[in-house]
Amino acid sequence: MKIDVLTLFPEMFSGVFGSSILKKAVEKEAASYNVVNFREFSNDKHKTVDDYPYGGGAGMVLKPQPIFDAVDHLKKDSKANPRIILLCPQGETYTQKKAEELAKEDHLIFICGHYEGYDERIRENLVSDEISIGDYVLTGGELGAMVVIDSVVRLLPGVLGNEDSPIYDSFSSGLLEHPHYTRPADFRGMKVPEVLLSGNHQKINEWRENESLKRTKSRRPDLLEEYLREKNKKVDHLD
C-alpha cells in the first residue's frame, strides 16, 4: 500500500513511521510512506497556504490551490485511483469497520489541515472520505492521520506476526475482546481461570466468546445491542 500524507508539519511523522509495526510494514514491503509539505505547492511568492474567510469570522482558512496541486502531483505517479482522506471534526466517526475498508486499497492520500478549516471546495470536489477520530478538536489533522494509518497498516497481509491477531481484535467481531492471561498461572494469589489451563480448545473458545459478550455488555452495551441485532441472537446468561 502506498500512503501519502499532505501536512504543514512533516517532521511530526518521522518517529511514528520509523517505529514499531509501521516500520516493520516498510521492511516487509507491505507499505510505503511519503510525507509532503503542501506549502511547497503554493503559487504565492510568499508560499502562503491560508487566507481570511469570505464573510468574516475568526481564524484562517486553508486555500484550495496548494492542496489541489499537491494531490494532482501525487496522483500523476499513482497506478491506482487513490482514496483521498480529509481529517476533520465534521467527518464520519472512525471505526474498525472503516479501517478494514481502507486496508483493501492500494493508495491512500491523507490531508492534514490546520487553522480554522478548509476551503469548502476541497471537501466538495477533491476528497473521497472525511474522517473524524472522535468528538473533540485537535490542533491539526496530523495526529488523526497517524491514528488512521496505524490502524490500517496493521491489517495489511504479513505485517503482524500472527495472521489471526486482527481477527480477534476488539471491534473486528463487533464485540470487545475477551480477557488475556499469561505466566505465571498464580500471581500473588490471583489465579488464571482453570479453563485456560485445561487444553480443551472447544471449552476455551466458548469461555472466550462468553467473556467477550459479558465485557461488551458491561462496558459498551451499545455495541452488544448492534451485534445481537445483526446476529439475530438473544443472550440471557451474561449477568
Q: Which of 105, 116, 177, 226 is catalytic?
A: 116
The closest alpha carbon to 150, from 75, 96, 91, belongs to 96
Q: b/e string for 170-208 if b means 16 or more Cβ within 10 A?
A: bbbebbbbbeeeeeeeeeeeeeeeeebeeeeeeebeebb
Specify whether the backbone of 174 is left (phi greater than 0), alpha (psi in -120 to 50) or beta. Answer: left
Catalytic residue selected from 10, 39, 89, 130: 89
Question: Which residues neighbour 224 within 8 Å (Cβ) at sequence distance 6 or greater?
Answer: 175, 213, 216, 217, 235
Strands of 61-62's sheet, edge to edge?
Answer: 50-51, 61-62, 117-118
Return the amino acid letter for 95.
T
Q: Which of 105, 169, 177, 226 is catalytic?
A: 169
Beta carbons within 8 Å of 77's beta carbon, 6+ residues apart? none
For strands 61-62 and 50-51, give the pairing: antiparallel
Examine the residue annotation and report whether 183 is marked as an active-site residue of this protein: no
Peptide bond into 184 cis (omega under 30): yes
Report how far apart the first and last C-alpha atoms of the chain are (Å, whole number): 44
Q: Which residues are annotated as a binding site for S-adenosyl-L-methionine?
A: 113, 133-138
Q: Respond yes or no: is residue 89 known to be catalytic.
A: yes
Active site residue 116: yes
For residues 223 and 176, the answer to whether their CB atoms sit within 8 Å is yes
Residues belonging to the binding site are 113, 133-138
Residue type, 100: E
Catalytic site includes residue 154: yes
Could you give the residue numbers annotated as active site? 89, 116, 154, 169
